[in-house]
Amino acid sequence: MGWKNVNAIIENKLYIGNILSARSSRSLTERRITHILSVCPDPIPAELPESGLTHRRIPVEDVDYADLLTHLPAACQYIEESMRAGGTVLVHCVQGLSRSATVIAAYCTGNCSPRSIRTSSLSYQLANKYGRIPASKNS
């Protein structure tokens, strides 16, 4: 059921998901995904390159001390170049909540108009995980 764990951030252009969605040919085919950005150390299947998909992996662990910040420029550049070339991008981590959402938020902050972003997707995922949308560690 990994194919259901994908949400559009920019319809037909940018999606967020978990590792199951990245491994699901159904999920990738239905959304016409051409590029995958994996923000986790876990590999996706070896047959992926043969499928015509372009894949980049940022091997960041899901731990408090992981330095995702240093990887954000390259991640955002990959998303931008992929979409500019007419591609459709899936950004995922293991659960599809923390690292992938951080990368997408960084990308959207610098590259998206407010009208193009489906904020309900990110809000829903965060609210679903935490019961509310966390504003900061101090709230």
Catalytic site includes residue 93: yes
Asked if residues 69 and 76 have their Cβ atoms less than 8 Å apart, the reply is: no
Residues 38, 43, 47: CA angle, nearest 5 degrees: 105
Angstrom CA distances, 2 to 64, 95, 106, 135, stand at 26, 10, 25, 28
Which position among 40, 76, 93, 108 bears the catalytic label? 93
- List, in sequence order, every residue forming a beta bridge with 57; answer none if it has no partner: 38
State the maximum Cα–Cα separation within the chain, in Å, rounded to a whole number.
47
Contact status, residue 56 vs residue 37, Cβ threshold 8 Å: yes
What residue type is 117 in one-letter code?
I
Q: Which residues are known to be catalytic?
A: 93
